[in-house]
Amino acid sequence: MPSLRVPFVVLILLPLAAAGAGAQTLTLADALRRADARAYPNRVAAGRSTEAGGRATGALRGVLPTLRAENGWARTTDPLGAFGATLRQRLVTPAAFEPARLNDPAPISNFGSAVVVELPLLDPGGLLGRRAAVRGREAARSSEEWTRTSTRADVIRTYFGAVLAEEQVATLEAALASARGHVREADALHRNGVVTRSDLLLAEVKAGEIEADLSATRSGMRLARRRLAVALGTPADSAFTLPDSLPPAAVVRDVAARAAADSGEPANRADVRAAGLGAAAAGADLARARAAFLPRLATFGRLDWNSGSGPYFGRESWTVGVMLDWRPFSGGAELGEAQAARGRRAAAEAQAEGAAAQARLEASQAEDALGVALERLGIAERAVAQSGEAHRIVARKYEGGVTSVVELLDAAAAETRSRLAFSQARYEVIAAAAARRQALGLDLEVLDALDR
C-alpha cells in the first residue's frame, strides 16, 4: 500500500507544479501592450478617429466627380407620356401623328436607363468643407494619441498600485506573525508570573489591530487587481501574477532620474495639438458656412437608353451641359449657419487657449510633485532604518526585562508603519515620474526599466 501512495501523490502534484511553472508574471511592458490593444478609452478614441476620417472622406463629394446609374420602368396611356416614350424609343412613324392615336394611345411600356457624370467646377463650400473635415480628422488623430498616452500613464499607476497592495499585504502578514509571536511570549511570561494580565491583553489588542489592517489591505489588494484588469480592458481576467514587491529604492531613483532627464514642451502635447487643430477646423467650417452665399458651378454629362425590351436596350442618346446654382437667400438658413459656425469657432479657440494653459500648469505641478516625491522617499528610507534599529533596541531591553511588552509592540508597530510608508513613497515616485513625462508630452517607455 505505501508503494502505491507515492506515485498517487506525484500524479496529483505534477499538474499543480506544471500550472505553477506556466504562470507568467505580468510585467509592466506586458500590461502596457494589453492596454494599447484592449483598453476601453483607446478603443473609443480609435472609433472616433475613424468616424472623423469618414467625414473627411465624405467631404470629397464637393471636389471629386460623381457617377450614378438611373433605371426606371413605366407603362402609360397618358397622351403626352405615350408619345414621349414612343419618341424616346425612336418608334415614331407618320401613323403616330394620327389624331386618334395621339388622343387615345395604346398602352406603352418604357425602360429608361441612364449613366450620369457630374463634375464640380467651382464649389467654394465643398472645398472649404473638405478643409474643415481634414483638420477635424487630424484633431481626432491627435486626440487619439493623447488618449493612448493618458491610458499608458493610468496603467502605470494602476499596475504599480496593485503591486504596492501586494507588498503592503506581505508587510502586514510579517507584522502579524511577529505580533502573534509576541502574544505567545507574553502569555508564557504571564503564566510564569513575570508580566501582568493587562500586558497580555494589550499585546492581544495590538495583534488584533494589525489583523484588522491586514484584512482591509487584502480587500484593497483584490480591488486593485480588479481595477488593473478594467484598465487593461480585460475585466474578467484578474488572475494574473504580479511582482510581490515594488522595485528597490535605488532602482526607482535611477528610473526617475532618467525620466526627469528629458525636457519637453507642453505646447507639443497631443491634446494641445488636438485643440489647436480643432480651432483650425472650426475656422475652416466658418469659411464654409459663409461660402453658402456664393454660386456653385458644375458640369455634367449623361447617356440615356429608352426601350420597351429592358434596361440599356435601344439606341443611346447623350447630353452635356453646365449648371450654375446660386442661392443668395434661403429664408435665413445661411445666416443662421454662419452664426452657429462663428460660435463654434469662438468656443474652439477658447478651448485651444485653455488646453495650452492647462498643459503648462500640469507640467509645473508634475515637476514639483516629482521633487517632493523624491524627498519623501529619502525620508521614508531613513525612517525604515531608524524604526528598525529602535525596534531591535527595545527588543533587547525586553529580553533583559528592562521594558514592557507594550513598548515592544509599539516599536514593532512603528517599524511596520515606516515600512508601509516606504512602500507608498516608492510608488509615489513612480507615479510622479510618469505624470511628469505625460505632462511634458514625452513617451513613457523609459519606465519599462522598472521591470528589470
Domains and CATH numbers, the chain: 24-64+122-294+359-451 (1.20.1600.10)
> Taking a C-beta distance cutoff of 8 angstroms, is the pair 291, 107 a contact?
no
Give the start-end residues of each E strand in 108-166.
Answer: 108-122
307 exposure class (CB count in 10 Å sphere: 0-12, 13-18, 19+): buried
Average pLDDT of 166-193?
86
Q: pLDDT tens for residues 114-148? A: 999 999 988 888 888 899 999 999 999 999 999 99
pLDDT-wise least confident of 269-283, 342-356, 438-452:
438-452
pLDDT-wise least confident of 2-16, 32-46, 174-188:
2-16
The per-residue pLDDT for 6 is: 41
The per-residue pLDDT for 409 is: 85
The per-residue pLDDT for 386 is: 95
Say yes or no to pLDDT of 16 above 60: no
Q: What percent of the chain has pLDDT over 90?
A: 61
pLDDT band at residue 15 under the 50/70/90 scheme: very low
Q: What is the grid cell recorded at 273?
A: 495639438
Sheet with 108-122, edge to edge strand ranges: 66-76, 108-122, 296-307, 316-325
The per-residue pLDDT for 170 is: 95
Average pLDDT of 422-433?
96
Cα–Cα distance, 63 to 205 (Å, whole number): 80
Say yes or no to pLDDT of 300 above 70: yes
Say yes or no to pLDDT of 432 above 90: yes
Q: pLDDT tens for residues 241-255? A: 999 999 999 999 999
HSE toward the beta carbon, residue 21, CA cutoff 13 A:
6
The per-residue pLDDT for 9 is: 39
Long-range (24+ apart) CB contacts under 8 A made by 36-39 are: 36/148, 36/151, 36/152, 37/233, 38/232, 38/233, 38/234, 39/151, 39/155, 39/231, 39/232, 39/233
Phi, psi of 286, rounded to the nearest 5 degrees = -65, -40
Lookup result for grid cell 526607482: 252
> Taking a C-beta distance cutoff of 8 angstroms, is the pair 421, 415 a contact?
no
Residues 6 or more apart whose Cβ sits within 8 Å of residue 318: 301, 302, 303, 304
Average pLDDT of 432-451?
91
Three-state DSSP string of 192-251: CCCCCHHHHHHHHHHHHHHHHHHHHHHHHHHHHHHHHHHHCCCCCCCCCECCCCCCCHHH
The per-residue pLDDT for 49 is: 94
Q: What percent of the chain has pLDDT over 70?
A: 94
Q: pLDDT tens for residues 328-370? A: 777 777 788 888 989 999 999 999 999 999 999 999 999 999 9
pLDDT band at residue 426 under the 50/70/90 scheme: very high
The per-residue pLDDT for 2 is: 44
Mean pLDDT, the chain, integer:
88
The per-residue pLDDT for 4 is: 42
- Residue from 414, 416, 431 nearest 376 by CA: 431
Say yes or no to pLDDT of 5 above 90: no
Q: What is the grid cell recorded at 41?
A: 478609452
The per-residue pLDDT for 1 is: 40
The per-residue pLDDT for 23 is: 55
HSE toward the beta carbon, residue 62, CA cutoff 13 A:
19
Give the start-end residues of each E strand in 37-182.
Answer: 66-76, 108-122
Average pLDDT of 160-184?
91
> Taking a C-beta distance cutoff of 8 angstroms, is the pair 164, 170 a contact?
no
The per-residue pLDDT for 283 is: 94
